[in-house]
Structure 1
Amino acid sequence: MKDNNPPAAPQAEFVETEIRGTIAIIRLNRPDLRNAINDQMRQELVSIFEWADQTPAIRAIILTGAGKGFCSGGDIGGMRERLSAPQDEVSFNGWMRQKKTHRGVAVIHGCTKPVIAAMNGAAFGLGLDMAMACDFIIAVDGARMSMSFLKRGLVSDGGGMYFLPRRVGLVRAKELILSGRVVLTDEALAIGLVDRVTTSESLLDEACAWAEELTQGSPAAVALTKAILDKTFESSDEDIFALGRQAQAICYSTKEHRASVEAFLHKADTKA
């Protein structure tokens, strides 16, 4: 008999994993520091997302935080290290750190399965960037969000300058980034920064129910659809048509498509 249980997630100190049916809940777990991202958490997050993406029994992923906050951004410890580092090492060390940051964001955004950010509280800076790297965001009522980078003399480094204009439009994205102001859930929902708002008690249940709705199709069709849609704004219509043709050819050969067609034909023959 085939074992449908997924293999155990990689061991991690700062990231927890919970399985609910076909859904992996990945939880940032530094609640005493509002789930600030340090180098170890970043690497753990990459490993666990790669594991979830490569595990067939998992159909969707939910990213959330432990405690009262989703993620406060980058760990201030990294900022202290930067101030004390020799001046001639700051730029190269920063470049190396940015590569790690971008890999962490890319593994979320590039996941072949639907990813929902279940924003259980405040999401600032890199934390908000990570939420926007997900396909969808559901937030608890009262969650606070801010593109807070400029207040530290920095630019958005976790993909926010790519994701935010696609969610709220270019002019509003500029305003939110340049002001660094705090946005509450009512406004976030109205401008498209988040997609749904719920209570803290219902957050994960609603996120899981949503994830189940998003995974009705075959894994191949879902993965290919996501990959093509993510290229829409950067591609011409013919580029998207070409990608669609290639994807459809792959879908024609899947067991899910064959089973669906056979069931449809059988139903039609029965009615005839």
Structure 2
Amino acid sequence: MPTTSTAPESYTALPFKTIRISHIPETSSIPTKVVLLKLNRPRQFNAVTNEMIEELITAYKYFEADDRIKVVVVTGSGPAFCAGADLRVGFSTLLDDVKKDPSKIESHRDGGGRVALAIHNCSKPTIMAINGPAVGFGITLTLPATIRVACASSKISFAFSRRGLSMEACSSFFLPKLVGTSRALHLLTTGATYLASDPLLSNLFSDILPTPQETVASALKIAEDIAANTSTGSEER
């Protein structure tokens, strides 16, 4: 794998295990202005692991370093966007890893926050195409993005209060700014599940689409429009 300070020859060839990156159009053998990143654990509804966190951070380092990339679209493989943290991994695995290498506690301490900052600090716009259920980390992952579009049937839940967990991924900063303090408090205190079309979430998504396929297609169309109309001045860094 190339260093994160250099751009890969092809994103499709990167040996990621939990995410998959495609050039748009997918027939292109070299990186294009728009790339599609899929959370790629469909059998686990794209539940997040430490490995996925590290791969997402690495991917965004590549995107930031690659002048060919203008816009990133993120979606989920299969019927879900992201079911949140993979609780089957549990803390026992973490404790075993820390016993072998104590420095690993730092990378686990706020993995969600590290991903959120990687997205937020990247100068390339990110469009989240929420194609299915997004729960816990699965929805807080989307908050630092530039644009969010969702399928109308997607179930959204900030379920932390129902799991005895605190918010993560910088979500206590981003969520009130996006939906307002009152709605953020309602969503977080109840921890309930809402459809993406629910009025409580009305300020979170810029568009609601009928199907997952239309959701991804809409996100790609927006991305292609942005990439085609990026001014030379705003490209300079």
TM-score, with structure 1 as normaliser: 0.72
Partner residue, 1:204: 216
Q: Does 1:192 align with 2:203?
A: yes
User: What's the offset of the Cα at 1:77?
Assistant: 2.9
Secondary structure in 1 aligned to 2:73? strand
User: What's the offset of the Cα at 1:93?
Assistant: 7.2
Unaligned runs of 5+ in 2: 1-6, 25-31, 97-102
User: What's the offset of the Cα at 1:132?
Assistant: 1.2
Distance in 2, Cα, partners of 1:95 & 1:183:
33
Q: Does 1:28 align with 2:44?
A: no
**1:232-263 Cα distance to aligned partner (Å, 9 max, x none):** xxxxxxxxxxxxxxxxxxx6xx9xxxxxxxxx
* Equivalent pairs, count: 215
Distance in 1, Cα, partners of 2:94 & 2:59:
31
Does the 8 A contact of 1:189 with 1:196 survive in 2? no
User: What's the offset of the Cα at 1:72?
Assistant: 0.8
Higher relative contact order, chain-length normalized (CA < 8 Å, sep 6+): 2
Q: Does 1:74 align with 2:85?
A: yes
1:12 to 16, 38, 63: 16
**1:169-213 Cα distance to aligned partner (Å, 9 max, x none):** 011101100100112122158621211111222222211111122
User: What's the offset of the Cα at 1:99?
Assistant: 3.3
Partner residue, 1:244: none
Residues 166 and 93 (structure 1), Cα distance of their counterparts in 2 relative to 1, 3 Å cut: same
Does the 8 A contact of 1:124 with 1:145 survive in 2? yes
Partner residue, 2:231: 218
User: What's the offset of the Cα at 1:43?
Assistant: 0.7
**1:141-169 Cα distance to aligned partner (Å, 9 max, x none):** 20010101111101111121111101110
Distance in 2, Cα, partners of 1:214 & 1:43:
28
Letter in 1 for 2:220: C
**1:45-90 Cα distance to aligned partner (Å, 9 max, x none):** 11112112221111100011100000111110343427987xxxxx
Residues 188 and 51 (structure 1), Cα distance of their counterparts in 2 relative to 1, 3 Å cut: farther
Q: How does 1:40-189 map to 2 (within 5 A)?
A: 40-81=51-92, 96-187=107-198
Distance in 2, Cα, partners of 1:50 & 1:93:
20
Letter in 2 for 1:169: G
Residues 82 and 177 (structure 1), Cα distance of their counterparts in 2 relative to 1, 3 Å cut: farther
Partner residue, 2:4: none
Does the 8 A contact of 2:46 with 2:82 survive in 1? yes
User: Whose helix fraction is larger, Structure 1's or Structure 2's?
Assistant: 1
Letter in 2 for 1:203: T
Distance in 1, Cα, partners of 2:204 & 2:92:
32
Q: Which entry has the higher C-alpha Rg, 1 or 2?
A: 1
**1:15-53 Cα distance to aligned partner (Å, 9 max, x none):** 000010411101000111110110111111111121122
Unaligned runs of 5+ in 1: 86-91, 223-250, 255-272
Does the 8 A contact of 1:17 with 1:26 survive in 2? yes
**1:78-112 Cα distance to aligned partner (Å, 9 max, x none):** 43427987xxxxxx976641333321111112110
Letter in 2 for 1:221: S
Distance in 1, Cα, partners of 2:81 & 2:144:
14
Partner residue, 1:237: none
Partner residue, 1:269: none
Partner residue, 1:263: none
